Structure 1
């Protein structure tokens, strides 16, 4: 599409209807599906002073005649950023349904809350099979049509879960963060620290000259900063209670993917130390897929954790001083690593159309605790294997699993391994106090 101004617009401002057409045309070839009525269909609301398009905010301007318009250049900028996003439909993140009520009645200053909005709509309509649009309004959030890429999975014919591609989850998380910062700037009237004048400021000034008024905030959000270990060695139980910590976390980019805005503080549940601020997407991927408290399914996302992006995740886990000093991982992650890496050669395979494929569903469970390493035992099994419904592949003692992991770590991520070990205690607090007390007389033999 050419860069000319759409006929009928004045001073570079276009009507909402024209903006819908422009947005649809510019993003027609995008890997992320977009809605054709991103400006005029709910949940977009021009009267709020802005409209979300992906991770961007487009300011809205009200003319003297009462007609709402938007700057064409900002629509094009948002489309260009969305078109640059690459989406893998197989890399999925669970977005619902979770325990209890996920959503509450929204107040006047509504944030995107995209997880709650999707879950609420699916629950009200009875699930995706009834939610399919039949000539009705499109299912969009921040201009993204989430319906065609929503994946439903069912367990035991009763429990349903809904999933979206990770790239879309990160994009919607960025939109939610941008909206929060935008509204905060509108309330406080703080001036931006950016050196260049933002497009929205230009359109406000132009609108004022032309006798128009706008409700957009005076400045965009302050840019996110990268995380450089500012919270290293602090206990989550202490830090999470400090006032203003949520706002501080939201000012960082995710310490893992380094692209999305951080939303939560990831921490080690065994040692209690903060690792780093991460986005919802990375926090979901890092979380073990528990079937029971001591039983996890070794899902496909462990391929990313232990194969394709190993160094990044190992470095992240070893931000915990306890794991780094002991050259290990938290027990659920160590169990998953043992099943996925150390016992990979033991998993049976079956003939496929092109090559042999691993059969069944890989699962690992454990008895005991990391606090009593001599009695802790990991059991790796394959469920639903044709040659054995619950076939046990191996039983690995905890200490042996730690030794195997240490050897593999030195070969796979030498830099991470070099910073670990019992002689690397400089990152620990002066008075180290384990969060989980060791009640076993033999437990301290390992630690």
Structure 2
């Protein structure tokens, strides 16, 4: 332990300066880069009554010496939780900028709202490299030094986009949710407080080892698991009902089951609600549209159709339309066809790192022609971009009906429980033809609705 980080007589409290030193020591070898002044540099503010470290709220108290302090055990527990996070820096989530960002309300006080803070910092300083050169202040959100893991990509030399590893996005989303719950509970306590004795000038210290996720005296209900409460509801109807957003925020994500839900995921082809999900899972589920009928088959499809296939197939079949027809929405079926059905057709070349190994060539892309209002008429074209033997090399052209039949056979082998729950006799009141596909080409889908 660094010098100066010691327990005192006030029951485990240490000053913010000592807590900063302890935090830096504990997080030195973490996969998640953290700031050394996480408890004292902006946007952390002890006078607010708490600081965020990862997704944990650490309460601050003012001692008799007029110094702001925190419980050492809380700092240690926050560090242990963040050290346990595994981060794949290749598994990225786009966090901005989005066209809808200009419509968002201005930030208030020290509330996290981390997407807005990152966007504003980068826009004001003209990008990541310039921000790194011109500003030496600690760059952290909930103790995480986001600048060290932010990836900046440029398309057509004009369009700049920003990306963070999915693990960091999940931690920051959870931190934002935790802070919101804390503040709501604190306001509720203030509104309903009845003075029974003279109040102390010092904030109450939470019990050692406890984990406050809201105001220490006014805990709120924990996240509840999603159990199909919205099954069969049309998104166009449910999204207009008052209080829906507040209801969604009370569920845990139906996919990862660990992060607060913030988005109501729905099938764009049939219009049915699937389930409440977190921002990270919603971004992973969204097809990577290049154009309205053109998809880049990115690395995350390995998780969707390989390692976590059963979970994602069950999630997609929460839509009654997809389940009854034993298929997927057109963009997802196209991605599946390119990634799975045409896997053996993709050329390979020698891996420079190994003389014996070979790796898939280029980047997979799938497009389709035909009417969006009648997917069965579509023809899927699977190609490889940036292939040394010929850019935009066409691997196969697969009619929609053939792709759907191949998917049904694969589903029965890969996820038999999901396949057993599907079929044309499951729902008789579905329309005979799917509604038009609504392609999400704007990447603005981070808003709740």
Give the TM-score, by structure 1 length.
0.87
Report deviation, 1:174.
0.2
Q: Which residue of 1 aligns with 2:423?
A: 421
Q: Which residue of 1 aligns with 2:400?
A: 398
Q: Which residue of 2 aligns with 1:90?
A: 90
Is the Cα contact below 8 Å between 1:363 and 1:382 reproduced in 2?
Answer: yes
- What value does the CA root-mean-square deviation take over the aligned residues? 2.5
User: Residues of 2 paired with 1:131 and 1:416: CA distance?
Assistant: 48
Q: Which residue of 1 aligns with 2:6?
A: 6
Q: In 2 relative to 1, CA 250–190 (structure 1 residues): closer, same or farther, beyond 3 Å? A: farther
Report deviation, 1:434.
7.9
State yes or no: 1:149 paired with 2:149. yes
Q: Which residue of 2 aligns with 1:380?
A: 382
Q: Secondary structure at the match of 2:122?
A: helix
User: Residues of 1 paired with 2:20 and 2:161: CA distance?
Assistant: 32
State yes or no: 1:17 paired with 2:17. yes
User: Residues of 2 paired with 1:398 and 1:135: CA distance?
Assistant: 53
Report deviation, 1:370.
5.7
State yes or no: 1:127 paired with 2:127. yes
Q: Deviations over 1:41-83 (max 9, x none)?
A: 0111111111111000011112355432222222122112111
State yes or no: 1:366 paired with 2:365. no
User: Residues of 2 paired with 1:78 and 1:183: CA distance?
Assistant: 19
User: Residues of 2 paired with 1:61 and 1:227: CA distance?
Assistant: 37
| 1:34-49 alignment runs, 5 A limit | 34-49=34-49
Q: Deviations over 1:11-49 (max 9, x none)?
A: 322211111112111222222111110111011111111
Q: Which residue of 2 aligns with 1:180?
A: 180
State yes or no: 1:235 paired with 2:237. no
| 1:40-79 alignment runs, 5 A limit | 40-79=40-79
Q: Which residue of 1 aligns with 2:339?
A: 340
Report deviation, 1:91.
1.4
Q: In 2 relative to 1, CA 377–96 (structure 1 residues): closer, same or farther, beyond 3 Å? A: same
Q: Deviations over 1:210-262 (max 9, x none)?
A: xxxxx966334421111111111111111111111111111111111111111
| 1:95-110 alignment runs, 5 A limit | 95-102=95-102, 104=104, 106-110=106-110
Q: In 2 relative to 1, CA 135–394 (structure 1 residues): closer, same or farther, beyond 3 Å? A: closer
State yes or no: 1:260 paired with 2:262. no
Q: In 2 relative to 1, CA 169–107 (structure 1 residues): closer, same or farther, beyond 3 Å? A: closer
User: Residues of 2 paired with 1:108 and 1:373: CA distance?
Assistant: 46
Q: Deviations over 1:89-113 (max 9, x none)?
A: 2211111122253575635455311
User: Residues of 2 paired with 1:32 and 1:437: CA distance?
Assistant: 44
User: Residues of 2 paired with 1:60 and 1:216: CA distance?
Assistant: 12
Q: Secondary structure at the match of 1:60?
A: strand
Is the Cα contact below 8 Å between 1:378 and 1:397 reproduced in 2?
Answer: yes
User: Residues of 2 paired with 1:190 and 1:337: CA distance?
Assistant: 53
Q: Which residue of 1 aligns with 2:412?
A: 410
Is the Cα contact below 8 Å between 1:103 and 1:120 reproduced in 2?
Answer: no
Q: Which blocks of at least 5 consecutive residues in structure 1 are unaligned?
A: 192-202, 208-214, 439-447
User: Residues of 1 paired with 2:320 and 2:346: CA distance?
Assistant: 34
Q: Secondary structure at the match of 1:395?
A: strand
Give the TM-score, by structure 2 length.
0.86
Q: Deviations over 1:175-233 (max 9, x none)?
A: 00001111110111299xxxxxxxxxxx94459xxxxxxx9663344211111111111
Q: Deviations over 1:255-283 (max 9, x none)?
A: 11111111100000011111001000000
User: Residues of 2 paired with 1:104 and 1:55: CA distance?
Assistant: 23
Q: Secondary structure at the match of 2:176?
A: helix
Q: Which is further off, 175-184 or 54-63?
A: 54-63
Query: Aligned pair count?
Result: 415
Q: Which residue of 2 aligns with 1:200?
A: none
Q: Secondary structure at the match of 1:276?
A: strand
